[in-house]
Chain A
């Protein structure tokens, strides 16, 4: 299996993702420059966190027009796996690969802290090794992480179990007090209808070393690797 980490101008968690795949998952991984257009050798691509194009216009809005994104769309539509973390999630929404939008946090602040998220289901390639209801400690670092969508979309996401991560308290209760940014339904991460594209605002890539406060994020990457190994 082979992973790719897409590098946009302004990406800054590309090395975190690369490190996790190479060191903890132990699989081959390449950086993919945003002007590259050949994804044929990859089984999964990661859109990392950062400030692509300086967040000009809207977070993720301009990255959507990078040449590689045409290929990422084809890649996703062919059923291969795409993981968008933080700015990567924003890009996936702007590109229409995931529904909804991420707007300014309700308190206006850039929030940088550890939060708890509850895993709703093991039924995605990214959570297959996690029990439903598992509570992960992951860091968030964003100013535009307030997920919104219309009522129809929200109902569809609920009906199809596509809300994969919810902000919660340390015991897994999804409460208003544990919602850091105002996201509808405490949504921290969702997947596509085909379940092969997942976006989340928290950073599993920054939670893979106990030294950094949590290694809970490893399960997301090891789930993906396990899924790929099973498919291969």
Chain B
């Protein structure tokens, strides 16, 4: 089983990296892009000791307490069998 954790800056928190990437992408010739926000992605490999619900709960706690800073970031957890 694998957990995927997506961490993104909350809406409204300045993302200068995203802005710089947006600018570069436009220089490459891409049009029609209104915004780019940069986030983080984690893959967590899980052994078979947890069922899916337990795994989701455990990884959500990990995301809340370590992988994200709840003051500035939101997270989303997906479990993949």
Contact = CB atoms under 8 A, between A and B. Distances in A.
B16 A101 contact: no
Nearest to A60: B69
B71 A100 contact: yes
A149 B71 contact: yes
Given A57-B67, A61-B66, A103 B17 contact: no
B20 interface: yes
B69 A108 contact: no
A148 B20 contact: no
Contacts of A65: 66
A105 B19 CA distance: 12
A62 B72 CA distance: 16
A58 interface: yes
Contacts of A149: 71
Dominant secondary structure at the A interface: loop
Contact of A101 (B17, B20, B66, B69): B69
A157 B16 CA distance: 26
A205 interface: no
B13 A103 contact: yes
B16 A104 contact: yes
What 8 pairs across the A-B complex have the smallest Cβ distances?
A101-B71, A108-B16, A101-B72, A104-B16, A101-B69, A106-B16, A108-B20, A58-B69
Interface of A: 57-58, 61, 65, 93-94, 99-101, 103-108, 146, 148-150, 182
30 contacts: A57-B66, A57-B67, A61-B66, A61-B69, A93-B71, A99-B71, A100-B71, A101-B69, A101-B71, A101-B72, A103-B9, A103-B13, A103-B14, A103-B72, A104-B14, A104-B16, A104-B17, A105-B16, A106-B14, A106-B16, A107-B16, A108-B17, A108-B20, A148-B13, A148-B14, A148-B71, A148-B72, A149-B71, A150-B71, A182-B14
